[in-house]
Amino acid sequence: MIWNRLKQIVDTSVYRTVNRLNGVQLLGRIGVLFSVAFVLVNLILLSAEVTAFADPGSGGFLQQTQQSISDLASLYYGSMTRELLPEDSLFGTSWFTQAIISGVLVLVFLLIAKWMPRHRKVVMGLTFVVILRHLLWRGFETMDTVAPSSTVVAWIVYGAEILAAASLLLGFLQMWNQTDREAVPLDKSFPKGEDRPSVDVFVCTYNEPLSVLYRTLVGCKNIDYENKTVYLLDDGNRSEMAELAKKLKIQYIGREKNTHAKAGNLNNALEQTSGDLSLIFDADHVPCKSFLKEVVGFFINDNLAYVQTPQHFFTQDPFQRNLLATEMNNEQDLFFHVIQPGNDAWDAAFFAGSGAIFRRKALEEIDGFATETITEDVHTGLRLHAKGWKSIYYNKDLAAGLAQDTFADFIKQRLRWTKGMTQILFFDHPLLKSGLTFGQRLCYFSGIWYFFSGLARMIFLAAPIAFLLFGVTTINAGYVEVLVYYLPSFVFLVWGYPIVTRGLRQNFWGEVYDTAMCTEMFFTNFTTVFSSLFTKGRAKFRVTPKGGVMQKMRFDLRVVLPQVFLTLLILMSLAFGVWRLLETPDYKPGVFINMFWACYNLVLLLGGIYVAQERPQYRMMPRIFKEIRSELHLQDGTVAIGYTTNISESGVAMVFEEPVPVSGVASVKLLDWDINESTMLKVQPIRSTIDQDNRHYVGFNVIDRTDKQHQKLICHMFGTPGIWMQENQRTSTFSSFLHMLTTPFRVLFTKEETTRRRVLRFRTNLSCVVDTGNGQDPLIGFSDDVSETGIAVYLKKSIDLGTKVTARIQWSNGNVTELPSEVKYLKKIDADQYKLGLEFLELTKQQQLHIIQQMYRPREGLVRVAPGIQKTVNCVLSVVDNRDATGQPGKLIRGYTWEMSEMGAVISLQENIPLRRGMTVSLKLYWDKQDSMDLEGEIQDIQPPADGKPALLLVYFLNLSLNDVEEISRRIHVAEESHRFETLTAI
């Protein structure tokens, strides 16, 4: 009994775990458990093997146990000879001691990661210890045994490891403490309205499209703050921009010469304005209504220079879009939600170029925005901090912008940042600049140091290639050394980095980003250093294009040529590695280690190459996912209540709890209580679907939109503060690795929607009889797609295109409609199944109205999938996953059909079993004692037991063949056993 109970508990726990995780997450968890077990087993066996070799000894229970484990290890590793195992380890300690240290570190870390994931500082401290231990081992134990011919290369690789470790540890110090500031209420800081500072809102533009500028300017105009003035700063001096400013009744400042680019544009505006504060936005960043009310209150502190807010992106960046990685966060989220709060704790919040508000007096003290470098934002913040001014980072998304359209644009922007941060070293080196605190020097230097990581990444990519192709030994270590010293570092980085970054970044994705950009970053560093030392002049500022469309998928080879070249070299080196294994057995440890390293690098490079496969972007107007209570006003006066699921400047998507007879032009009224606005829009339906719970989803296109309505739509989209705040996407390293390997297949087989139906279609399952009228028997089929103008029918025989037929559609309420039709589409599905598209011909007004009424009839009682025939058939039903709705092991359920059709059945259960909609079930129908039929179905609706009546299920048959349909139809239409209901109502 106890054993059965334990088995049931384990069985239930496993099921709940599987039910809670999707497939990739489950594989990831299994991979984690396997990896931990593998590490621990190897540590025990290898430590016993090495210890037995170093001190054979004799006698004693412990010594005999150790020898037994050693013998087991010899069998486990097979070809590993004792000559491969060194006699001692770091600083003369035994390998057994180091193995125990590694095991304890890994176990302690895994316990913290499991039960104390919020203890970021403990994780960072342990990671520092592990990495320092690894570097000491590399420097003292592996470098002196390298062959003289490989010494230079080995030291270069070791130097790259030091650079990478320094970058990581600097980042840890930068993020050691983090702030989470609350807004200072404006009424508290400036209770009298006349005392509130005046604000100039600057929107900077050079060559951005008018459509992008329009929404930003409307958003700035809608900011809820009385004493503000909006300025359009046009570095392109375009006449259409001046007209747009006049149309929106805002101020326009243009420049004929765009000297010093954005910094010069802002300085020019400062000279022509007089506001106490200056709020800065890029051309594509749209603020919410409460922006100024949430940040102006901070300026009660007279020593405050600026307040920076996060930059949220409401479109996907190239990594998210091209890798189809929906579980990835935006590449910039780590900086704005983890690093910047850490900078703020050191009073070193960076100015990030947009979404920041400055005190004019502070800018005047440093002669305006810095013009010496092309990263004027960070450089300006550094100079203000050096003058003793304070900064604040308010970690709340108050504005949203567009991410880069293509990977080439992404690279272009990152290279500009790389060049600008490198230039800062020559104008205002943070370690040498007077006036900065220790924390400020640390943060600015760490930010600059990151942009030199391309060199280390390139060395790591080249190191295994050098060994496998040319035999150049970069790391002289065997299995034991790698296991004892490298694996703990790897475990800490894989499972510890997400804890440090609060789940915003997996170390694996960080390495993919670095690999995709490393070559360009390295050469940019080199050319910038050279030009700064030997030439004079400022690099040209290049604006990142945004807001474009792309009609076709294309591969941008020119931006990933270095990665393609390195990939070919790795493939060649792996082939040489196989040859070395066969020809030179003495190389086996080094060959295996470097081949594994090369394979890992190959995956990173493939990620950098995949992201250059640009996917089509058809959407001209970005959409915002927002729920707004709305009213749909139909032409007949009917009003339906629903909610928006997403809105854009050109359309609205809504959901209704019941089907709505949408046809033709209608009106939608948005009732947005969050911003206290309501808007009436004239709309045309373009898409309609109904889910299994009978919810009706409709997509509308806004037509005859006025300029006032356009502005109010933008206010609905961007006016609500915090609508972009969402839970961070979290994935395991294993699932990320698997995702990367499968990217090319998903890109090939994931299609974009390129067209929209002008005629609404209704996704349902109906019986349909097609009569050709040529004296032959009518063809029985079924449909899963019907609209106001046609129907898709699956038949066992084909009918020639252009043939006039009569379609008898049997609706789910029992009504039958006969419609004259013509075959417009024919496709062979398999050997004996065809899909026909029928277009209705010469429909009368009454027939059109009848179709609409049948498609959008209100839900009453148990919803049918097809008209029913009263037919009693014994059946046995079981849930496919063998679990009921409570998660308990399921069992066979006996019942009988109360009503049947070719598409499904209403089943009366003989006992009360917890089930739910959407469950997949297997069904055995017993036509008689000797004849039965096995089917698969899905529970579409449930009517619970009441007043002594049994529970009723509506089951929709799945994966039916036409033979199945004909067999069911033959069985249920036997005259003496059944009769058709004239009208089916709720059960």
In the Cβ-directed half-sphere of 5, how many Cα atoms lie within 13 Å?
A: 2
Place of tokens 């949408």: 662
C-alpha dihedral sign at 522, 527, 528, 529: positive
Determine the pLDDT at residue 232.
94
Residues in the chain: 987
User: Contact, 294 vs 721, CB < 8 A?
Assistant: yes
Give the model's pLDDT for residue 620.
63
Instruction: Tell me the DSSP string of 176-193.
Output: SS---PPP--HHHH--SG
CA angle 13, 14, 17 (to 5 degrees): 85
Rounded CA separation 770/427 (Å): 81
With CA atoms as reference, report the closest residue to 278 among 355, 183, 379. Answer: 355
Say whether 317 sits in a helix, a strand or coil. Answer: coil
Catalytic residues: 235, 377
Exposed e or buried b for every residue in 686-717, given b needs 16+ CB within 10 A? bbbebeeeeebebbbbbeebeeebbbbbbbbb
Q: What is the pLDDT of residue 617?
A: 67
pLDDT reported for residue 318: 81
pLDDT of residue 649: 86
Task: Pick the closest to residue 181 from 341, 288, 352 (CA basis).
Answer: 341
Three-state SS sequence of 730-780: CCCHHHHHHHHHHHHHHHHHCCCCCCCCCCCEECCCEEEEEECCCCCCCEE
Residues 662, 660: Cα–Cα separation, whole Å: 6
Identity of residue 630? S
Q: CA-CA distance, 233 to 982, in Å (whole number)?
A: 72
Over the chain (987 residues), the average pLDDT of each successive run of 10 is 44 41 44 48 49 46 51 42 45 62 75 69 84 83 69 86 89 90 86 84 89 90 91 88 91 86 91 92 90 92 94 82 71 88 93 93 93 90 94 92 82 85 88 91 91 87 88 75 78 80 78 84 76 57 53 74 90 88 71 86 86 72 83 86 88 87 86 81 85 81 89 86 58 57 56 48 74 81 81 87 87 78 87 86 79 61 49 77 60 79 79 74 81 83 72 79 77 50 30
Cβ burial 964-975 (10 Å sphere, 16+ → b, else e): bbeebbebbeee
User: Distance between CA atoms of 599 and 606, rounded to whole angstroms?
Assistant: 11
* Segment 428-479, tens digit of pLDDT: 889 988 999 999 999 999 998 888 888 888 899 998 998 888 888 777 776 7
- The torsion angles phi and psi of 520, rounded to 5 degrees, stand at -65, -40
Tens digit of each residue's pLDDT (9 = 90 or more) over 684-693: 888 888 776 7
Query: What is the model's pLDDT at position 552?
Result: 66
Distance CA 454, CA 520 (A): 8
Domains and CATH numbers, the chain: 6-176+455-548+561-610 (no CATH), 186-430 (3.90.550.10), 629-718 (2.40.10.220), 761-855 (2.40.10.220), 869-980 (2.40.10.220)
Name the nearest CA neighbour of 829 among 800, 803, 794: 794
Using an 8 Å Cβ cutoff, are 400 and 312 in contact?
A: yes
Are the C-beta atoms of residues 109 and 155 closer than 8 Å to each other? no
Give the DSSP per-residue string, 471-528: ---S----HHHIIIIIHHHHHHHHHHHHHHTTTS--HHHHHHHHHHHHHHHHHHHHHH
Give the pairing of strands 312-313 and 399-401: parallel
Which candidate, 384, 395, 311, places its Cα nearest to that of 354?
311
- Cα–Cα distances in Å, from 285 out to 356, 398, 652, 715, 871? 11, 10, 22, 13, 63
